[in-house]
Amino acid sequence: MKRRLHNIMLAGTGSDVGKSIVATGLCRIFLQDGYSPAPFKAQNMALNSFATKDGFEIGRAQAVQAEAAGIDCHTDMNPLLLKPQSDHTSQVVLNGKPIGSSSAYDYFRKEGKEELREAVCQAFDRLAARFDPIVMEGAGSISELNLMESDIVNLPMARYANADVFLVADIDRGGVFASAYGSIALQKPEYRQLIKGIIVNKFRGDLRLFDSGRRILEDICKVPVIGVIPHYKDIYIEEEDSVDLAAKSFSREKGKINIAVILLRHISNFTDFNALERDPRVHLYYTSNTEDIKKSDIIIIPGTKSTIDDLYELRRNGCAQAIVQAHRSGATVLGICGGYQMMGTQVLDPDHVEGDIDMLPGLGLLPVATRMTGEKTTRQSRFTLAPQNGGKLLEGYEIHMGETIPDKEGIEPLVFMEDGKPEGCYVDRRCMGCYLHGILDNPGFNDFLLEPFMEKTKASARTEDYTAFKQRQYDLLADHLRKHLDMNLLYNIISYD
């Protein structure tokens, strides 16, 4: 008979220390070991989101963690999602649906926070009634003293869940001793006692060099170091944040189909391009350089959290003109979601859903126009390619605000939804767009997109099925964590007596 497990929280000494990845790996390990884990993050801030099967929205990281745990994602796994709209405001998504926008100052004030706290606790209770253990993830640093009274995601949530907390510290950024010790020392006694261990993450070099460091950490922090996890380069887990996209900005490569993804200021759902990045026929890069755009074979305008603002910026920085010029010279242009809206004749916002601008002309590549609306469309979708007149059902999802309609009669759609409804706009093999995120995860669509340029590539075969590839990466991540975490100690800590 398997031991019953406490819930577990991965908390952090700061942002981007690797909490999400460790949580993903532990979800996979618990699944492999015969448990029924589920991820949970009370509050997440991210531009990357995902649509659940029942048509609601959660953070992409929790969708990835659910996939690693072998279950469908649900809003209870991320009941509160903040989607940045500008440097100062975010859309607030509660239980999968937008409830308005808030400035950072207003959101983090204590007043009114109890209603949100109650909502996330109710979501946790529903989840905990169905799964064991719950693999929880904190947010940012656990030692932001000015925000502790309004904190609903870190140690107050762990205390509510009766969870064992493991502090994740990033040694690659330096200061691991101070950050780990300080993060624990600054806690109230009732929170400090929840912290049962430290996980040192992103180590580079010979692990033996940190043997003394491990002992020092345990001595000053009074909790065990559960493991020291080396940095890796050969495991690919979908990212939640776009911090590394600029590093993928490399220009053309001979012998491959060169695809430029426009690097928008408010880019969202950039995981749309992970499958194409791994295709041996393709060299994909992110850019806002007009010369790189003009020299590409395929241009993809991605999703955005602020269509009008990003469209304005494309016009200001010359990218809009470069895209149109490249298309006239033979490049394919594909727009996804907000990129699809930008490719039309105009984007209207008379109700000022996104800001103060009433209307902007689009790129004029597609005979459609968009009106921004306050209601968000969120759903998973199955569809077939209209230009191929049927064929295998493909899969994707929609998360967008606004309605796009044809400017004239007789517009050909890009796809037909499973119920027969047309979606998107198709001018020809080199000009198309739709609202469907995840469309590029389908090999059938990618073959369709790349076919006009196949003479440019030396590679003849695509990579393995992307779904199978992701499952293999979760197993590799689990193997990596098992090798470097003391799983026996971890299980002893989190097991009921």
Q: Are residues 370 and 488 in the same domain?
A: no
- pLDDT, residue 89, reads 77
Let me know if residue 204 belongs to a domain. Answer: yes
| Alpha carbon distances (Å) from 149 to 45, 108, 117 | 19, 9, 12
DSSP 4: P
| Alpha carbon distances (Å) from 260 to 229, 291, 298 | 34, 11, 6
Q: Are residues 132 and 191 in the same domain?
A: yes
Q: Are residues 320 and 217 in the same domain?
A: no
Q: Are residues 166 and 20 in the same domain?
A: yes
Let me know if residue 429 belongs to a domain. Answer: yes
* Nearest-angstrom CA–CA distance, 435 and 341: 8
Q: Are residues 194 and 49 in the same domain?
A: yes
Query: Tokens for 442?
Result: 């389908």
- pLDDT, residue 281, reads 94
Residue 224 identity (one-letter amino acid): P
Let me know if residue 183 belongs to a domain. Answer: yes
Residues 6+ apart with CB under 8 A from 229: 18, 22, 199, 200, 201, 202, 203, 480, 481, 484, 485
Query: What is the pLDDT tens value at each position of the chain, 497 positions in all?
Result: 577 899 999 999 999 999 999 999 999 999 999 999 999 999 998 878 899 999 999 999 999 999 999 999 999 999 999 988 766 678 889 999 988 877 655 665 656 678 899 999 999 999 999 999 999 999 999 999 888 888 999 999 999 999 999 999 999 999 999 999 999 999 999 999 999 999 999 999 999 999 999 999 999 999 999 999 999 988 999 876 655 565 555 566 778 999 999 999 999 898 999 999 999 999 999 999 999 999 999 999 999 989 999 999 999 999 999 999 999 999 999 999 999 999 999 999 999 988 889 999 999 999 999 999 988 899 999 999 998 877 789 999 999 999 999 988 889 999 999 999 999 999 999 999 999 999 999 999 999 999 999 998 876 666 668 889 999 999 999 999 999 999 999 999 999 87
Q: What is the pTM of this model?
A: 0.87
- pLDDT, residue 111, reads 61
Q: Are residues 336 and 442 in the same domain?
A: yes
Q: Are residues 81 and 215 in the same domain?
A: yes
Q: Are residues 295 and 413 in the same domain?
A: yes
Let me know if residue 395 belongs to a domain. Answer: yes
Q: What angle do CA 286, 291, 293 make, to 5 degrees?
A: 45
Say if CB 405 and CB 424 are below 8 A apart: no
Three-state DSSP at 256 gives: coil
- pLDDT, residue 1, reads 57
Q: Are residues 447 and 476 in the same domain?
A: no
- pLDDT, residue 463, reads 63
Task: Give the residue numbers spanning the domain of 292.
Answer: 256-457
Query: Tokens for 488?
Result: 């026996």
Catalytic residue positions, numbered: 337, 437
**Is 261 exposed, middle or buried, given 0-12, 13-18 or 19+ CB atoms closer than 10 A?**
buried
**Is 475 exposed, middle or buried, given 0-12, 13-18 or 19+ CB atoms closer than 10 A?**
middle
Say if CB 221 and CB 180 are below 8 A apart: yes
* Nearest-angstrom CA–CA distance, 141 and 168: 10
Let me know if residue 2 belongs to a domain. Answer: no
Let me know if residue 464 belongs to a domain. Answer: no
Q: Are residues 223 and 121 in the same domain?
A: yes
**Which ranges of 33-85 does DSSP label H, i.e. alpha helix?**
60-68
Say if CB 66 and CB 72 are below 8 A apart: yes
Q: Are residues 98 and 220 in the same domain?
A: yes
Q: Are residues 88 and 203 in the same domain?
A: yes
Give the count of domains, the chain. Answer: 2
- pLDDT, residue 250, reads 57
- pLDDT, residue 450, reads 95
Say if CB 119 and CB 97 are below 8 A apart: no
Instruction: Find the CATH number of the domain harbouring 225.
Output: 3.40.50.300
Q: For strands 134-137 and 422-423, give the pairing.
A: unpaired
